[in-house]
Structure 1
Amino acid sequence: MSTIVLIRAGCTDYEDAHRLLGNLSVPLNARGTGQVREIVQRLQQDQLPLEVILTSPENPASCTAHEVARAFPRLKVKQVEELRNVNQGLWQGLPENDVRRRFPRFFRSGKEDPTAICPPEGETLSDACQRMVSVLSRALRRYRVFAVVAPEPLASVIRCTVQHRRLRMTDCLCGEESGELVQVLQSSSFEAAGFAGVTEGCGEFVPLSGQGAET
C-alpha cells in the first residue's frame, strides 16, 4: 500500500474567471502563489516523508511542484508528459457556462457517462485516465510515499480513480470543488476501471487539516 499525496496546482486567472484551463500552460496568479505557500506549510506540518513529486511539464502544475520542492532539501521533481492536464480542445479558454450553453448536445449525449464527453479536438476524461495508468502504477510499485501535482480537472480524475467512483456531470469540465489543496490517498493499484466506477471498494481518503449556440 502506497501513500499518494495529491496536490492541487495553484490557481491561475483562468480558474478565477471560471474558464476551462485544459492543457494550456498558464502561470500562477497572486492567489495561486499564496496557495503554494499554504501547501508548503501543510506538508511541513504533517511531515510526510515524500520521496518524489510527479507533475506535468506545463504550468501551473510544474511551477507549483518546483516551488514546493524548494522547501524540502533533496526532494526531486519529475516531469511526466502523461500527467498533462485533460485536453479540452476547442473549449480551452472558454467560460464554463458558455460551453454548457453553446454545446448542449455534448452534455445530453454524456448524461449517462460524463467521463465520455469529448470536446472538439480534445479528449475524454476516460482518455486522460487511461494515459496515466502506466505512470501511476509504476509509481505505486516504486515509492511508498509520493506526491502528484495536478490542476483541475485532472486532480479530480486521479482522486476519483483511486476512490473508485465517477465524476458528476456538474464537475466534468472544471473538476470537483474542494477546499483542500492537499489530500492524502492510500492505494495499492491505479486502474482505469476504478474511474468508471465499476470496481468494488474504495481507496482510503485522508484529508490534511486546514483547509453561436448549438442545439
Structure 2
Amino acid sequence: MSSQVLLIRPGATLYDEQNRVQGILDIPLSDQGRTEVLQLAERLAARNDQAPLSALYCGPGESVVRTAEVVGKALGLRPKRIEDLRNLDQGLWQGLQIEEIRRRNVRLFRQWIDDPRTIRPPQGETIEEAMERIQGAFRPLFRRHPDEAFGLVAGEPIGRLIAGYLKRVPRLQLDEFLPCCGYERIEVHADLLGGPSSP
C-alpha cells in the first residue's frame, strides 16, 4: 500500500451560491452547505470500514473547519488544523463575482484562465507562493503517515492546487467550478514520498 489522501471539499457558502471569489474571507456554511456536509459525512462513514483514515486534517476558515468537524465526528476522528493550508489569497478579487472580475480586468482575467501561474491578483498571492505553503505542510504529513490514508478538508481553489501537487499534474485549471462538498481519494505520487517516480 502507498499513502493516500482523501481530499474533501467543504459545503457551500453564500459566496459559492452567488459565484463569488471567497479566497481567505471567512464565510460560514449556508443552509444548503450544512445539509450537504451532513449527507457527505453519512456517505463517508458508510465507506470508512473499507479504507479507514488514520487522521483528519483541515485548513482554517469557518466553512472548512465546520465541514471537518462534522466529517470527523462521523468517522471518529478529531480534525487537526493546518494554517498553511489556508485558501489561495485572491486579494482585491475576493468578494467579487466572477463576471465582475471578467468585466473589470478583461486581459488579466483571460491570462488567469489560460495560465493562472503567471497571475498575482491585486494584493493577493501567486500560485507558486501557495504551492510552497502546500509542499511545506505536506512534508511532515507524509513522514507521519507512511503507507496510510488520511483525510484533508480544503476549500477551493487551494483544493485544486493540492490535488495537482499530489497527482503531479503540471497544468492547473481554475476556471471550472467544482461542485461543493465532494471528495476524491488520491494515491500520492511516488516521488513525493521519496520512492521511484512513475514513468
Establish whether TM, by shorter chain, passes 0.5: yes
TM-score normalised to structure 1 length: 0.80
* Whole-angstrom CA distance in 1 between matches of 2:139 and 2:67: 23
State the distance in 1 between where 2:31 and 2:191 align: 34
Q: State the alpha-carbon separation in 1 of the partners of residues 186 and 15 from structure 2.
A: 27
Number of residue pairs matched by the alignment: 189
Q: Following TM superposition, by how much is the alpha carbon of 1:149 offset from its aligned partner in structure 2, in angstroms?
A: 0.4
Instruction: Please state how far the C-alpha of 1:154 moved relative to its aligned partner.
Output: 1.0
Corresponding letter in the other structure for 1:170? D
Any stretches of 5+ residues in structure 1 without a counterpart? 192-199, 203-215
Q: Does 1:170 align with 2:153?
A: no
RMSD value, Cα: 2.2
Structure 2, gaps ≥5 residues long: none
* Aligned pairs (5 A) from 1:4-43: 4-43=5-44
Once the two structures are TM-superposed, the CA of residue 111 in structure 1 deviates from its matched residue by 6.2
8 Å contact kept, 2:58–2:152:
yes
1:91 and 1:35 map into 2 onto residues whose CA distance is: 27
Identical amino acids, percent of aligned pairs:
33
Higher relative contact order (Cα pairs below 8 Å, separated by 6+ residues): 2
Preserved CA contact (<8 Å) 1:89 1:121: yes
* Counterparts of 2:137 and 2:85, CA distance in 1: 8
**Normalising to structure 2: TM-score of the pair?**
0.86
- Find the counterpart in structure 2 of residue 101 from structure 1: 103
Residue 208 of structure 1 aligns with which residue?
Answer: none
- The alpha-carbon distance between structure 1 residues 201 and 92, as it changes in their structure 2 partners (threshold 3 A), is farther
Partners of 2:127 and 2:90 in 1: CA distance: 9
SS state at 1:185 partner: strand
User: Could you say if the C-alpha distance between residues 184 and 25 of structure 1 is closer, same or farther in structure 2, counting changes exceeding 3 Å?
Assistant: same
Residues 1:201 and 1:93: Cα distance change in structure 2 (over 3 Å): farther
CA shift in 2, pair 1:190/1:95, >3 Å: farther
Once the two structures are TM-superposed, the CA of residue 161 in structure 1 deviates from its matched residue by 1.7
Could you tell me which residue of structure 2 aligns to residue 88 of structure 1? 90
Higher helix share: 2
Match of 2:138, SS state, is helix
Instruction: Identify the residue that residue 59 of structure 1 maps to in structure 2.
Output: 62
